[in-house]
Structure 1
């Protein structure tokens, strides 16, 4: 009788254990969930920037850092893989995390020090890529996964290329204006004055050479002689007329 009871208890325990496993198994089955719709068609610059995140320390130059997170607590399990679609400007590129053979560095990290669930995913892509869409396979149940934060590439500031400016015309050096050289006046020929030149200094008005002093004196003497002769002739005539009248 005691032996039968032991077997019955074992059977009941076995049934109970099977029931518990049956209930737990669906909760931890793998499932595929989408990327949060609000985070689709976005660039790294569209999210909160946390470049101080130590997971971004090894971010290659000219790359954007992405941090994806799985919310929902223990029932969500953890990431098994992520498939992300990016637009690189020339077309779409599919990136899988984790993938050691992918050209874009990526990694999965646990939720915390005492948890083995992988709920953090990091990925580095060339700067400027647009996250079009994505899906994740997880070990539990959740509605979606999110972009937690990013570190958009900050291009190294380049020194502005100096704008060529037109060469300014050199300021002309003021020069002292040269004083005009006075032209030597054309000397007017002067006629040497004779001692007999009249006191008013006028010469001939017709442009001929002035009459010399000797010629003027001669003319004066001739004039005086003529005047004297005329007076003498008048006197003689009057005398003659008087004599005739007397007779």
Structure 2
């Protein structure tokens, strides 16, 4: 009986821990559309220009981008920055030892980041879309930046020139009889090179690409799956009619 009670308490504690871990800043819906090749191509360009200097995508080859409508020549001309070949994997230029010295750890591989970063009622794409749009200036941090989704994140805001510098605005509200500070919006400290709408689209394209990169064969899988289901439905119909014809004279 004691073992049962202990196991029950442990289970409830784990459940409470899981529930608590899903709290935090609310996630916005990411505009994911894996059939939009133009968006995926823009996202690939943003990934190479802003992310690949620190983050690898070691399980993704450049020539796989032909699946989203790019030719190998376009990949060579626009996405190969140094001496990589079109058949190489997307490996970051940063030295792992230097990355550990600068950031306290080697930046994670992003090949399947959109499939692994899920929680708080949203998908991994929703998490990344909100994360990349909620950086703000914080001089108390080593990088000078903080994030509403990932507080005290060690990553600086690499897209800050596009978005500009912002600061969160809070308002005092009453909750359960106590006054607390709730997030109200943003104060733009310095302008970026893009408007808010343009920046949201840039991040949306990047997240769309990250979602596609996590499973490049997804569109093919879905297309083949539809044909397989149609074949099975037709086969069931034929089998049913054959069965009826075979047994019609049997009493």
TM interval, shorter chain, is under 0.3
Structure with the higher strand share, 1 or 2: 1
Structure with the higher helix share, 1 or 2: 2
Structure (1 or 2) with the larger CA radius of gyration: 1
TM-score normalised by length of structure 2: 0.21
